[in-house]
A and B are shown apart, each in its own frame.
Chain A
Amino acid sequence: MKYVLMFAETPQYAEDLAAMDDAQRQAAYDEVGRWFADNAARIIHHAHLQGPHTATTVRRVDGGHEVTDGPFVEGKEIVVGFVEVEVADLDEALAMARSWPACPIVELRPVSP
């Protein structure tokens, strides 16, 4: 089955990341790199998104369109990237999400067949 793993950041995580020195940050990136290498056979594609300050949202309103600044969900948890994976079942996808070394929230959703 195909799943998308959506990664979300919290303000606390962003602060922790900002507080790291270069060596620590490099170590964190290396861990993420290892995760991608370990799961290379399962990952179909992936994307890392730019920060929420770059987001623009278009809403259809009363037959017209309203363009607003920022993400469509006003919240503290911000989607920062996703991977699409091909695995046997939810448990295999959950195991990937559990071993994810970076941002603290991962939502899993199967892709419609």
Chain B
Amino acid sequence: MDRSHDELARVVREHAGRLTASLVHLLGDFSAAEDLVQDAIETALRRWPVEGIPDRPDAWLFTVARNRGLDVLRRQTRYREKLTQLQWPSPAEPDDRLRLLFTCCHPALPRQAQVALTLRTICGLTTAQIAAAFLVPETTVAQRITRAKRKITDAGIPYRIPSDAELPERLAEVLTVVYLLHNEGYLSSTGDGVWSRRLAGDAEWLASSLAWTLPREPEALGLLALIRLHQARAAARFDADGHIVLLPHQDRSRWDHDAIAEAGRLLARAATHHRPGPYQLQAAIVACHAESPRWEDTDWAQIVVLYDMLLAVAPSPVTRLNRAIALRYLAGPQAAMRELDDLAADAVLDRYPLLHATRAELLRALGSPEEAREADRRALDLTANPAQRAVLSERISWT
């Protein structure tokens, strides 16, 4: 997909999200509004590449959605009357899209439905595009969305920004969905590069909307900083042949140092709230790497401290694994191996390719190449990402 298609996606996303938000606001019916906008998006994706992007894409989408609405909702007088009253541009409702995001990411919906609904309703992706991004059949995505929309209506899931008391928990849910989108794009467990980049771009856009609309929430800033830091180094993660380049070997001159500095400023702004959280801490760890001029200059002591803080607020076996990796460079492979042996007892982590890839590296450093190869093989069995698979299979054949 070329630049013009990305531009198209950006325009659709920008305006479709706003249009959906104001239609839900007007009709009070999530499902009806979503259907109208989805129709308009599909029309746009068909016609814009041929006819060019209209001068006022928002007004264009509005007209298509409105005419479609007057047509489809003929029998429902209540909706028809409301639709005829709708003017575009609608009065600025900066919170509408945020309400929509909280509806899509409501904890009463299953995670996969939250993700699909967010991509479709907020980012303006079609069912087919979501299916392509996650390599699942289109019917599966369609079903997830239909079920979720039915639950929103039938179970009475509200369209509103949560109260202050609910906000921390609900925001955490939204941030999880956005970060999941980013990771799926950035680390892609399934493959197709073009879709992966779009997902990562959508996630960055969502994170920046959140940071912008919720300026008093440091975790929203933290997530944005984290995503920007990953994006800033994306170009150096692959060589010319599309093979993964690991952090120690990356050409740091290819990192986007302006973006890294900008992320640092976001983190400093988040820190003024004195409410550290998992995203701020993860971003701080990535910033340690990003701001280090050479691999040899990495401040491992600081990184291990940050991992300890992260484990205190959000204990997780994956974080312990990452801390063990950092510990290797601070205290040596023996110390890291002891940590790892503890972790391998965890059934979930035992299915995590990075655990075995790390074991392999440590075993090699400790002089056990046979066991290391075995661990590499286990890691290879567990990963679906072609680039990661390539690194592992090369290592098996080298050593």
Contacts and interface: CB of A to CB of B under 8 A. Distances in A.
B157 interface: yes
Contacts of B155: 90, 108, 110
B342 interface: no
B108 interface: yes
A74 interface: no
Main secondary structure, interface of B, reads: loop
Contacts of B154: 110
Contacts of A94: 108
Nearest to B106: A90
A89 interface: yes
A1 B157 CA distance: 11
A47 interface: no
Given A90-B108, A90-B155, 18 more contacts: A3-B156, A88-B158, A89-B157, A89-B158, A90-B106, A90-B156, A90-B157, A91-B157, A91-B160, A91-B162, A91-B166, A93-B156, A94-B108, A95-B166, A108-B155, A110-B154, A110-B155, A110-B156
A110 B156 CA distance: 8
B383 to A, nearest CB: 37
Q: Which 3 A-B pairs have the closest CB atoms?
A: A89-B158, A1-B156, A90-B156
Interface in B209-231: none
A84 B148 CA distance: 24
Interface in A56-113: 88-91, 93-95, 108, 110
Nearest to B151: A90
Contacts of B156: 1, 3, 89-90, 93, 110
8 contacts: A89-B156, A89-B158, A90-B106, A90-B157, A90-B158, A91-B162, A110-B154, A110-B156
Interface in B124-166: 154-158, 160, 162, 166
Nearest to A113: B154
Contacts of A89: 156-158
A91 B106 CA distance: 9
Interface in B92-129: 106, 108
Interface string B150-194: 000011111010100010000000000000000000000000000
Contacts of B158: 88-91
B151 to A, nearest CB: 9
B173 to A, nearest CB: 13
